[in-house]
Amino acid sequence: MITTLSGDTSRLLATVDFVKEQSTAALLPLLFPGLDGPELRTLTERCRFSHAALLVFPSGEAELRALLADCGLTAALPPRPSVVVRERLAVRHRRPAAELDVGILRPAVAGADGEPRAVEVFALTVPPGSGLEGIAAYERERQHETHVAFDVPEPDPLLLRGLCATLARHGAAPDGGGYNAHENGTVFYFTAPEEAEAAHRRVELYVPGDHRDLLAAHLGDPRARQPAETLLRLLTGAWTTQALAAFTELGVPDAMDAERGTGVADLARAVGARPRELETLLRYLVMLGAVAQGRDGYRLTALGALLRTGAAGSMRALALMYGGPFYRSFAELGHTVRTGQVGFEHLFGENHFDHFARDPRLAALFDASMAAGSAMFDPVPAHPVLTAAAAAPAGATVVDVAGGNGELLGRILTAHPRLSGVLLERPHAVEAARARLERAGHGTRCAFRAGDFADVPEGGDVYVLSRVLHDWDDARCREILRHCARAMPDGADLLVVERVLPRDGSASLATAWDLHMMCNVGGRERRADHYARLFADAGLALVDLTPLPLEGHVLHVRRTGPGPEPV
């Protein structure tokens, strides 16, 4: 008994020290060597090192209490059931799960960086004479359940797919997982590559909510894991879109608080809704993770707060756009696949640019929705091309072609006070960009040109095409790129910001947006080699590719020879 307790105590003490010493930004590169730059920043923003875990083997609750006390840990007993670990042990040792009493505790530990963390203690009760001693000895030696864990606070399915794909690119291998109904949380396990420099190679992503559809794909055989349930969840995706859009359109996020709850009756009065119907909507949004429910009512989560008006990084406009015009046109996807005609044009009788331009409200909503994914832009101003341009003795000019409302150009000018800018856009969009950049204090450093791609200003040092090429087919892309190449002087650079389709067909946001662009816009997402061919056709060459948040990329392009003839 004493030897067993001492062994578990030393292991638990070592785990406590590990949790205190590590941080998210320091631990991720140790687990996945080569992970750095924008990808590391994205993972650090989206994941939080929450705990390290180990499995111990007390004979009962009294011994477990003594073990925690020896390690200076405090936790409420008895532990909650641990479904995932119990089932893993049952499979590994070919024992009925009902014979394995596995509990879970998470005593708090303060990290050296001040972040609140925990030690996750799985406890398999091994009473004397139970016949489980062999399992305890095996697991203590092999340490199968020892792992480090990261929380994913925003349980967005596309985000989860992107995180899993990023880890896979850096050598992570799927290693199980499960759904815990007691906590309403989904666990994804990975094994870090052999070259990992961390003491623990097993990695957990913990995501609040029920994500068994994504878990099935993670486990490798979605057809064998509740296919009817998985299909139902996929088929109800439209309900999710409309629930989020209705929540936003009613103004409920603006009437809610992120810190304290609000009763349904008060919310219904504030937004002019019926209480019973509003509560049905809110319960669904709790399941999605956009809203949390407590004794004092409903409150916004970090995910739901992104739907508030004026919130930092607000995605309100995107919810209204995807739940409005683009939702209606997506019903024409079958027509697009059958005929090749853009679904939006089939429904509305014109392309989305012209349709939105004729309606000031829709035009403003579309421009705001384009800025809603601005987290993709965060690392762009630090790109070496822009840093070098800012260091030029005579200063330099950045030309943002089809620069929308000026979000990206504004970030670049803020980061580099010595740069000046030129923004080219359609007439109605230019005025919105002018107002935005003047409010930001960049009005005297930026010129504005109303026009089309044929009007790309000459003489810039760095040209930017951000989320433009995916709007068009290959022929139009070549035309746009030739206009840029013709305007670019010798030595000028072009930075193209786009999502890039993965070469291996792995899950990605780009694959989802490829379908959207085909049905609603008439464009497409492309692989890097496809872009390289388009650049070459315009007398340009792809120099390198840099990842961005939200699975974006910067493609650095240079002119390879004399500018092309006028288009």
**Nearest partner of 385 among 377, 396, 376, judged by Cα:** 396
**Regions in the chain scoring below 50 on pLDDT:** 1-5, 222-225, 566-567
Task: Quote the crossing angle between the two packed helices 37-46 and 24-31, to the nearest 10°.
Answer: 120
Cα–Cα distance between 456 and 471 in angstroms, integer? 17
DSSP 489: P
Count CB atoms within 10 A of the CB of residue 335.
16
Cα–Cα distance between 306 and 552 in angstroms, integer? 20
Q: Which distant-in-sequence residues (6+ apart) come within 8 Å of 476 by Cβ?
A: none
Cα–Cα distance between 190 and 149 in angstroms, integer? 10
Residues β-bridged to residue 546: 554
Q: Are 315 and 375 in contact (CB under 8 A)?
A: no
Q: Which CATH class is domain 2-227?
A: alpha beta
DSSP-based three-state secondary structure for 512: helix
**Nearest partner of 373 among 408, 401, 344, 400, judged by Cα:** 408
DSSP-based three-state secondary structure for 268: helix
pLDDT at 562: 59
Count CB atoms within 10 A of the CB of residue 241.
15
Q: Kindly give the residue spans of alpha helices, DSSP state H, lying in 80-200.
A: 83-93, 133-142, 157-169
Instruction: Reply yes or no on whether 51 is catalytic.
Output: no
Ordered by start, the domain boundaries in the chain are 2-227, 235-371, 375-559
State both tokens at 405.
């409302």
**Nearest partner of 152 among 207, 209, 189, 215, judged by Cα:** 207
Rounded to whole angstroms, the maximal C-alpha distance in the chain is 88
Count CB atoms within 10 A of the CB of residue 416.
20
pLDDT at 223: 44
Q: Are 23 and 114 in contact (CB under 8 A)?
A: no
Cα–Cα distance between 466 and 377 in angstroms, integer? 9
Cα–Cα distance between 148 and 459 in angstroms, integer? 52
Cα torsion 520, 526, 530, 534: sign: positive
Residues making up the chain, counted from first to last:
567
Cis status, amide bond into 325, omega within 30 of 0: no
Q: Which fold has domain 235-371?
A: Arc Repressor Mutant, subunit A (1.10.10)
Domains 2-227 and 235-371 share a fold: no
Q: Are 198 and 49 in contact (CB under 8 A)?
A: no
Q: Which distant-in-sequence residues (6+ apart) come within 8 Å of 472 by Cβ?
A: 480, 522, 523
Q: Are 377 and 366 in contact (CB under 8 A)?
A: no
Q: What is the pTM of this model?
A: 0.60
pLDDT at 265: 96
Cα–Cα distance between 384 and 381 in angstroms, integer? 9
Q: Kindly give the residue spans of alpha helices, DSSP state H, lying in 440-489.
A: 474-487
DSSP 435: H
Catalytic residue, candidates 200, 218, 416, 470: 470
pLDDT at 524: 95
State both tokens at 239.
């309900």
Cα–Cα distance between 168 and 551 in angstroms, integer? 14
Cα–Cα distance between 431 and 441 in angstroms, integer? 15
DSSP 525: -
Q: Which CATH class is domain 375-559?
A: alpha beta
Cα–Cα distance between 121 and 56 in angstroms, integer? 7
